[in-house]
Amino acid sequence: MTTATKKLPPTTDPRCGTTAGYTAHRRRGESACVPCTVANRKAAREAMRRRRATLAGREANREANREASRRRRATPAGREAHLAAHRATYARLRARTEAEADADFLRLRGQTRPCAGCGELLPADAFSRDWTALDGRQRRCARNGCRKRHRKLKRDKKLAAHWTAQGIDPKVCIYCLTNPAEDLEHVMPKALGGSDDFSNLAPSCSTCNRGPGGKHDVHPITWLAITYPHRVDHIIELFPHIKETA
Ligand SMILES: [Zn+2]
Ligand SMILES: [Zn+2]
Ligand SMILES: [Zn+2]
């Protein structure tokens, strides 16, 4: 489609007010009449909504936008325009009042959004102001220990994956195989030189770990021989290093 030729004024057509009417205007080299423009815009919005309804559609949409932006920035003039638009956006964002920024958060995110650190759904005032962000707030929440919690969550996920790969159910106590896992258990107690490595960690219930008759700082093989003799071989198989100091 070339836009070099000047557009003619619209002529009336029985299809006017529909997308077919719009296409007919374009084919005749005219600018579209108002009802046709409205119909076309509505159809385009509908199509966009349908595309955005699926994950694949959203991805395709994002990729198309990225590609279009890349093409625009390919020339020096396009690049300059792109940067100018960026500067204008940031200037506008920085000029917002607190109320305007709060309205932007509500419009873009609703009442809450997940923290990029701890992952919890939180309202706007749980995040510090960030005047360069579209929603006016930092990505991580400002609550105490958010960063620490984030690190712990990441580690827990990795550890669960490690256990699953070893054939250990992360949700069940490794000793009694009955109670739900509550504690992060050092199979070889730290008091006996056990490490914090994944290879020395297991999910356990609080009873087995620190309850009456629990393992506490006893050597695992000694404790298992008394409490769960039938589990000794399997635990040694999973944690061979406990045998070296038995
Ligand atoms: Zn028309
Ligand atoms: Zn957080
Ligand atoms: Zn247990």
- Residues 53-108 pLDDT 10s: 888 888 888 999 999 999 999 999 999 999 999 999 999 999 999 999 999 999 99
Q: Is residue 79 part of a domain?
A: no
**What pLDDT, on a 0 to 100 scale, did the predictor assign at position 3?**
46
Q: What is the residue type of 47?
A: A
Q: Which residues pair with 127 in a beta bridge?
A: 141
Collapsed DSSP state (helix, strand, coil) of residue 185: strand
CA 160 to centroid of ligand 2, rounded, Å:
22
> In this structure, are 34 and 114 located in the same domain?
no
Sign of CA dihedral 224, 230, 232, 235: negative
The amino acid present at 107, given as its one-letter code, is R
How many Å lie between the centroid of ligand 1 and the Cα of residue 68?
A: 29
| Shortest-distance ligand to the CA of residue 114 | 2
Residue 179 is assigned to a structural domain of this protein: yes
**pLDDT value at position 2?**
45
CA of 52 to the centre of ligand 2 (A): 28
Question: Which pLDDT value is given to residue 80?
Answer: 94
Answer yes or no: is 14 within a domain. Answer: yes
Q: How far is the CA of 242 from the centre of ligand 1 (A)?
A: 83
93 and 176 together in one domain: no
234 and 178 housed in the same domain: yes
Full residue range of the structural domain in which residue 158 is found: 150-243
Regarding whether 224 and 155 lie in a shared domain, the answer is: yes
Q: If we measure between CA atoms, which residue out of 130, 137, 131 comes closest to residue 94? A: 131
**Domain presence at residue 235:** yes
* pLDDT at residue 1, as a whole number: 45
pLDDT, residue 147, reads 81
In a domain, 77, yes or no: no
Separation of 34 CA from ligand 1 center, angstroms? Answer: 7
Per-residue model confidence (pLDDT) at position 5: 53
- Ligand 2 centroid–CA 126 distance in Å is 8
Task: Verify that 179 and 209 share a domain, yes or no.
Answer: yes
Bridge-based pairing state of the strands 183-186 and 137-141: unpaired
Q: Is residue 78 part of a domain?
A: no
Q: Which two tokens stand for residue 111?
A: 């009442």
Low-confidence ranges of the chain (pLDDT < 70): 1-6, 246
Could you tell me the distance, in angstroms and rounded to a whole number, from the CA of residue 163 to the centre of ligand 2? 26
Q: Which value does ipTM take for this structure? A: 0.54
Q: Are residues 164 and 226 in the same domain?
A: yes
Boundary of a domain, candidates 72, 104, 128: 72
The DSSP letter of residue 167 is T
Distance 182 CA to ligand 3 centre (A): 9
User: Rounded to the nearest whole angstrom, what is the distance from the C-alpha of residue 214 to the centroid of ligand 3?
Assistant: 9
DSSP letter for 53, please.
T
How far apart are the CA of 148 and the centre of ligand 2, in A?
9
Is the same domain home to 45 and 97? no
Residue 28 Cα distances to 21, 38, 140, angstroms: 11, 18, 54
Work out how many domains the chain is built from and give that number: 3
Query: Computed over its alpha carbons, how large is the radius of gyration of the chain?
Result: 31
Chain centroid offset of residue 219 CA: 42
CATH code, domain with 170: 1.10.30
Residue type, 86: H
Q: Which ligand is nearest to the CA of 185?
A: 3
Amino acid present at 241: H
Query: 12: CA distance to ligand 1 center in Å?
Result: 6
50 within 8 A of 56, measured Cβ to Cβ? no
Inter-CA distances, 86 with 102, 108, 234, Å: 21, 19, 61
Judgement on whether residues 110 and 154 belong to the same structural domain of the protein: no
